[in-house]
Structure 1
Amino acid sequence: MNVRRRLTLFAVTIAATPLVIGGCTAERKAAGESAPPPAVELTPADRARDIPVSAEVGTSVTNGKVSSVRLTDDKGRQVGGEPRDDGSSWVPSGPLANGRTYTAEVTVTGDGGRTSTRKTTFTTATKPTKPAITSTLYFAGNQTYGTAMPVTVAFEPAVPKEARAAVQKRLFVKTDPPQPGTWSWLEDGSQVYYRAPDFWRPGTAISVRAALEGLPIGKERMGDADRRATSKIGRQVAVDIDNATKQMSVFRDGKLVRRIPVSLGKPSTPSSSGKMVIMEKHERTTFDTRGEPDGGYVVDVDDAQRLTWGGEFIHSAPWSEGDQGYTNVSHGCANVSATAADWLMENTQVGDLVTVKGTEVPLQAGNGWTAWNVSWDEFAKGSALPVPAGLRPSPPAAQHPGAVAGGSSPAPAPSASGG
């Protein structure tokens, strides 16, 4: 082959290259045009009536994702809201009004930007006549809590087992930075706790919404209110009390900062052993045990910090300072000196972990905020909804005596007893 012919062949090869590229582009475009269009099915169904004011706009999507939701009432006013993390529904930011008609318009977008829009119009129920289950959210707004603070919701009367999944689905917790957890019910349904596998990180913001107003709970009752609060987590403080030594050890960020002599409950009225959380702090309060077993006294106390619903506190007890560090003489409380009690009030927060060990009786589930008194695996078993498989405790950092270790309950009605 001469040089002229070889050059001619090379030129033909170069000229053919753009044609090959153009053919591949045309094939991809044709495949995109054949993709099925996006579609969405909505709930409540169109023209549905007697819908609870707790209703969400359910969105079952194929071949796309929800790109917009617009919910308006019968006066044209738009309702705010946001989607669930799993995209299964769109949740209004507050309960809907009774006896009103709403229209939801949902747009979904598929591959290539193709869209589809669907509407549903429904009417809410009139004001219910069924009695309510009263809910209490033990998580106030604009507070600073300890790193063991569980979000606690209590119910009166208790939530029946078959209704707990529906209730739990309407309990929302957001953390910033993200630190996912789960809810766990007491066996009797009187309380439900939320926590992560590990302590909250200091500085975390926690936003809670118990969106229960108008929610059907079982066959006979309704939810009572829509409650919400946002607070933050403060410094890490943990308190350990050892009955064997009659000493309290106070840790901050895992480091021992103080030891304090204590006197715990005498054998006839023993203190509980277990992992508790500081629930309340009172500069001054009154213990009135008249009518209670082994009670019958009324006494004013200073610097009292509640640990259980049954009336166990850490508090100032100048009358037992000679026994502190040596002998148990209280009615179940942790007695400390007036000076130590004042220091504790300055250095602890509601939500700090308090661990008591070595006494005659174990802490009863639900006698206080007992979310940390079980391992994470045991805690997760109490959820009425599936817990994500990946939600597991992280390997523990440097352990300290205040770190976490791995039935029916009394009603959460505070007792003023102590001692």
Structure 2
Amino acid sequence: MPRIFRPNAYFEEELRLGKLFPRELEARNSVLESSFLVLNSFPDSAKILAHSPPEENWIKYWREKGIQIPKPILLRNLKQSLQKEKEIQLEEWGKISRWNSNTGNLEIDQTLADPAKTYGSKLNQNDWNREHNEDLISYSIRNSEDWETFIKKEKDHFSPDQKFVFKTEFGFAGAQKFRDVSGLKDLAYLFLKVKREPFLIETWADRTKDFSLLFSAKNGEYKIEEGTILLNDHKGKYSGTWMGEFFEIENYLSGMSESFSKISKFHPNYEGYGSVDSFFYRSKGIQILRKISEVNFRWTMGCLLLELRRRFPKEGNDLLLFLPKVQNSDPYSRLKIWEKETGWEILPLSTFFSPYRRPNQKNLIWVRLPAQKNQDPWEEAKIVSESGIRVLGP
């Protein structure tokens, strides 16, 4: 029985739309497709399902590193590649589909999609997670009645300089919208009356540091795998993940055991990888930890980095970092110069160009850094990012 891995980074969009393979997100998904080609470059690994083949120069760069990139199964050739298979072992970034041998296609499996929608819903998680800090407002808004309840209960607590965050029930990290008190009504109308989408509304918090707890679950048993630092801006837009030795990660994990134990009761039948997103925020001059901001019942970038570290063990720290599109025609030679200048190991997890030689809008870089005493991950990530932009720029 062949093993196939589908890196569906648009998992939440598939849940929202109720259909597989949203065409407008194919280019964005290519980042994960190439990353999993690297991860699954070992014998007996699952075959990767991809929309298009990776560029040859990217394959060559990895070959020079001693890694043979396997050929993916292209989506357009899926039926032909698996036409004789009655069964396949399908693994996914987010579990939602099944293989139909009668039609030779992947299709939504409601036995997977229904619980994924139930437990992945930001609104349902908000209703379950009553561990909110007292100074944070958080409401699930499914209809006009919920909105009126929110306004009635909270309007006396509004202040002119207060800001709120609107999050769709399913959606990408960093896609939230921000409004002050004067803009709440118009945005609520857009969601409820125009888009007809439920949403979560929360107090905007002055975030200072973001963390993620990685876990695995099997047969009802949940296990903490690792802690990471999420590199987000103050609005929560994701730019990378740090994994390695750092005392603040240990301090974060030590305070999460009680909250983590609740998750297995919330979704006792989940199996696979997942993560808990948390953040520190500043309130009245002190730092407060919001232990459970969101739970991801799927692979995450942190899970990807954890598996990369396991497949390619090396002492030191690891950084996944998104960099903007390149401005020169031969970025791979620039990577070699960058390695020589810094002593870091630089590994492009995504290709710089599409099969049609168009530069990709974002590029995922894996940087392996030596462990250093008194190293600050946030400062180190900033140095790496600025260095990468300079090297890969014009």
TM range (shorter): under 0.3
Largest Rg, 1 or 2: 1
Structure with more strand by fraction: 1
